[in-house]
Amino acid sequence: MNYHNKSKKELIVELLKVRQELFSNKETPKIENKDVGQLEFELGERIKELNCHNGMTQLFLNKNLSMDEVMAELVLLIPVAWQFPELAEAVVKVRNKTYKTKGYKKSEFSQLKEIIVSNEVIGYIEVCYPVRKLPPAEHIFLKEESDLLSSIAERTGDYIEIAEKSVALIESEKRFRNIVENINEIIYEYDEKGIIRYISHVTEKIRGYFSLARLPERNISIYGIPSEPERNGTGHLTIREKQGELYWESSTIAPVLDEGGKINHYVAIKEDITEWKLAEEELRKYKTIVDQANFGNVLSDLNGVLLYSNDAFAKMHGMEVNEIIGKHLSILHSEKQMIRVAETIDLLKTNGEFNAEEVWRTRKDGSVFPSLMNAKIMVDNNNVPQFMTATVLYISIIKDAERAIRLSEENLNYAQEIAGMGSWQLDLATGKTTWSENLYKIFGLQPKVLTLKGYYD
């Protein structure tokens, strides 16, 4: 009789058939007593199998027992189902753990079946009889016992797979919950009607409440998240009221689908980005100032490729901003001028900055002009150089004024020399006297700053 892979219900039906056959044979005088005895034996073995399966079912469904506790109980349940339960011993090995009956010793008289989980052998179940306690029988192990052991091993593998996946799921949920409760973003979960089903505890820090019971309103629309299906799956910025003051939030919403592909509920992630928005606003103000300044502002990488230019910088070179961005700074200088530019870059990389360095430049039309530069190396949080930035002043007007003054002084000195005259100027605040060049020549003196007191003394 083959009972391998038969369900509990099938075994009960088989038991009833055996019982009916047994009673029928007892009423038939032609059937020998040994046949009746065999039927009674088989009935008894099947009852033990049923008890074993029933016991396993109760063990595997007991949520109060750990997997270790279940395996420890299972190894005690197995020998009872064998032909000689008083002599049989058993061992269950699962991965690196072993569970065995008190008198278990390795024996050549044994049956063994592997435990398989997800197509991987993770252990085995073995039933044996000690050599010194061999039962007095022609067949120590019945074929039905081999089938039963296969069924036990299979059911045990199924139980372990479910138990391990449950543990893994619980651990995964714990890790996920820990992440959710410790990030700075608020996470909502709400149904299609917009009723909040979950809200993360970080809401306590951001909004002053964290549990559903403490929410002033349960409908998600109160908190600025649209509940309409067509609005979900999008990210947007909103302004919210926070203890009487305005603050910015970033919201991302996504639908969660069921197995049929229909929307089951929604998840929304909201982040307080007030500081970021304020910083962005300050940066926008600064950029406006820099963009509209009447002096040049320019940013390049460490190789001299221009990354930013304001309008004033481009105009002083006779160019538009888009003609400069992405180009090397050498387009703004002649080959001869680049010698001086290379010197200033070396100075910049050595000292990290320089101030008031005069650098000549070339316009788009080929004309040249002088500029006065301040430059600085921009570094990251680790003090690693990232960019070069500079402010550039157009000083042609200053140069022209200096040239005019110098020419005027030269003309004055020439006229005084012809006339045999000299001149001097007194600073009443400091008492210092400045002589013209020809006056020094008249008195045969070397040019220097004099005071009236020093002269008359």
Question: What are the residue boundaries of the structural domains of the chain, listed by start?
Answer: 8-165, 184-278, 293-394, 411-456
Architecture of the domain whose range is 184-278: 2-Layer Sandwich (3.30)
Confirm whether 8-165 and 293-394 share one CATH topology: yes
24-38, 109-123, 222-236 — most confident range: 109-123
Confidence of residue 180 (pLDDT cuts 50, 70, 90): confident
Neighbours of 202 (CB within 10 A): 20
CA distance 186 to 225: 12
Query: Which phi and psi angles does 211 have, rounded to 5°?
Result: -95, 155
Pick the closest to residue 391 from 356, 426, 351 (CA basis): 356
Regarding predicted confidence, which is higher, 174 or 309?
309
Contact of 112 with 126, CB cutoff 8 Å? yes
Is the pLDDT score of 443 beyond 70?
A: yes
The structure tokens listed for 356 are 């008031």
pTM: 0.46
Do residues 130 and 141 touch, judged by C-beta distance below 8 A? no
Q: Which fold has domain 8-165?
A: Beta-Lactamase (3.30.450)
- The 3-state DSSP class for residue 421 equals coil
Q: Tens digit of pLDDT for each residue in 80-134? A: 999 999 999 999 999 999 999 999 988 888 999 999 999 999 999 999 998 777 7
Per the CATH hierarchy, to which homologous superfamily does domain 293-394 belong? Answer: PAS domain (3.30.450.20)
Q: Does 226 or 314 have the greater pLDDT score?
A: 314
Which amino acid is it at 20?
A: Q
Of 151-165, 179-193, 274-288, where does mean pLDDT reach its minimum? 179-193
What does pLDDT average to over the chain? 80
**Under a CB-based contact definition with an 8 Å cutoff, are residues 137 and 83 in contact?**
yes
Structure tokens of 313?
């910088």
> pLDDT confidence of 236, banded at 50, 70, 90?
very low
- Closest by CA to 81, choosing from 136, 142, 16, is 142
| Nearest alpha carbon to residue 329 among 307, 356, 311, 353 | 307
Distances (CA, A) of 11 to 158, 184, 259: 20, 58, 36
Q: Cα separation of 445 and 270, whole Å?
A: 83
Query: In Å, what is the CA distance from 414 to each residue of 81, 423, 435?
Result: 132, 12, 14
Answer yes or no: is pLDDT of 207 > 90: no
Rounded to an integer, what distance in angstroms lies between the CA atom of residue 112 and that of residue 121?
13
pLDDT, position 44: 83
pLDDT at 213: 52
